[in-house]
Amino acid sequence: MNITDVDDKIIQRAQELKISYLEVARKYEASFFQDLAALNIRKPSIVLRATEHINEIVHFIEELMRLGYAYRTTEGVFFDTSRDSAYPRFRQVDVDQNTKGVKRNARDFALWKPEKAGEPSWTASFGSGRPGWHIECSAMASKVFGNDLDLHSGGKDLEFPHHENEEAQCCAFHQRSTWARCYIHPGFVRLSGDKMSKSIGNVIHIKDFLKDHSAEKLRMICLRFPLRAEIDFRDKLVSESASALAKLNDALALSDDYLRGRFSADISQHDLLKALNITRENVDKALADDFSFARATAQIVALTDMLVQALRKTEEGKMAPGHVAVASLSNYIRNYYCTMGFRLDTMSGVAEDSQLSNIVDKMMDFRFEVRQLALALSPGDERDKLLKSCDEFREDLQVEGIAIKDMKYRTSWTRSH
């Protein structure tokens, strides 16, 4: 991952605050990585900063000039787009030819900006100054990945001009027709119809969202939409995400109860395992089709619903064991969500301490027996008192983070958050 730690906006902000541009850059970099950690997103294994790779950037520009893809002007060094017959690769954009100024072509873009008073600059063979936005990414990515790249990601607003120009630079430098094999451009998260943007001021900060909601809620929202689709953020999405997480939590807790022997069910192992194999194939196809997380997740939700329905078949006298199938489906469902970054340890109904889990199991069994005895009594004070005590017991445990659910043949419990 590359970090842009010097550009026009950073310099402008530093001048407004009367501090170093690096102070501004490091502040937002630290905040970004704090948000990643809070969202359970793994930090990139390699992080490169533009200001720490000026030599590589200068060399990259010198090579482009040597190959005839870049030229020097009084306003810096520019990339000559007319030398790239494939430009633009991603989409056509109309450009006013009257705006070219010192450039040979209106589409040409800056590789190196000349030195200005009060701005950071570095010496180079083509004049003192600082790198343009696009060139730093090409130089640093090429340092790590060489002359080709499998996946390159960034918001849809980076498709043009940033990724367009980055691809052109790398193809020219490495003398290839294609540099990155696949670009991933996720859609925007919008608020009140507009893209969330600091410049507009319509932003919900990650830290503020996580004060009231879990990171898993945000992940579940994102998984419901196609990768390139735009999400119009609203409260309804959060509540729907919470409901989906609750259903997942209940399903995993139910399968855990079954595998721990807390109840029996009429399980058709053949049907469940067949559904599992079909789901695996469909999930793989969905992810291979432009990373369609929404379609893949829909398959997982359908499989989860099927598992829950099977576990609720508890008619007396029809108790076919199905531990292999239930364990297989439960593990696959858990693995999918873990792969997607969900922290299931914060959602699971299984207590971290096995001894505590066994104690709560016995408490649930005792409460279930008391409740069944109460329900068998004729209406009256004694019956009402017992049922009221059972309800109060449930409410007391809810306060302690344990949610109780009364079912026909058993009482189940999960950790609530």
The amino acid that residue 176 corresponds to is: R
Question: Tokens at residue 98, please?
Answer: 């009257």
Tens-place pLDDT, residues 255-292: 998 898 888 888 999 999 999 999 999 999 999 999 99
CA distance readout (Å), 361 to 17, 346, 348: 59, 19, 15
- Show Cβ contacts of residue 346 under 8 Å, excluding neighbours closer than 6 positions: 214, 216, 417
pLDDT at residue 319, rounded to an integer: 63
Rounded distance between C-alpha atoms, residue 383 and residue 109, angstroms: 81
Contact 131, 54 (CB under 8 A): yes
pLDDT at residue 172, rounded to an integer: 98
Contact 180, 149 (CB under 8 A): yes
Write down the mean pLDDT value for the chain: 91
pLDDT at residue 414, rounded to an integer: 77
Is it true that 53-185 and 191-346 share their CATH fold? Answer: no
pLDDT at residue 361, rounded to an integer: 81
- Range of lowest pLDDT (48-62, 218-232, 344-358, 379-393): 344-358
Q: Is the peptide bond before 88 cis (omega within 30 degrees of 0)?
A: yes
Model confidence at 358: pLDDT above 80: no
pLDDT at residue 197, rounded to an integer: 76
Rounded distance between C-alpha atoms, residue 161 and residue 95, angstroms: 12
pLDDT at residue 353, rounded to an integer: 57
Model confidence at 318: pLDDT above 70: no
The better pLDDT of the pair 199, 298 is held by: 298
Mean pLDDT of 109-118: 96
Q: Residues of the chain with pLDDT > 70: what percent?
A: 94
Contact 230, 188 (CB under 8 A): yes
Tens-place pLDDT, residues 221-259: 999 999 999 999 999 999 999 999 999 999 999 999 889
pLDDT at residue 350, rounded to an integer: 44
Which CATH number is associated with domain 53-185?
3.40.50.620
**Domain residue spans in the chain?**
53-185, 191-346, 354-415
CATH 3.30.950.10 assigned to 191-346: no
- In 101-205, where does DSSP find H-type helix? 133-145, 164-174
Rounded distance between C-alpha atoms, residue 60 and residue 112, angstroms: 11
Model confidence at 352: pLDDT above 60: no
Q: Is the peptide bond before 131 cis (omega within 30 degrees of 0)?
A: no
Model confidence at 379: pLDDT above 70: yes
| pLDDT confidence band for 416 (50 / 70 / 90) | low
pLDDT at residue 310, rounded to an integer: 94
Q: Are strands 129-131 and 231-233 parallel, antiparallel or unpaired?
A: unpaired
Rounded to 5 degrees, φ, ψ at 386 are: -65, -45
Mean pLDDT of 335-349: 81
Model confidence at 195: pLDDT above 80: no
Model confidence at 192: pLDDT above 50: yes
Helix (H) or strand (E) holding 224: none
Tens-place pLDDT, residues 381-403: 889 988 998 998 888 888 877 88
Please name the residue that has the structure tokens 């970054």: 341
The better pLDDT of the pair 367, 50 is held by: 50
- Show Cβ contacts of residue 11 under 8 Å, excluding neighbours closer than 6 positions: 21, 119, 120
Model confidence at 351: pLDDT above 70: no
| pLDDT confidence band for 315 (50 / 70 / 90) | low
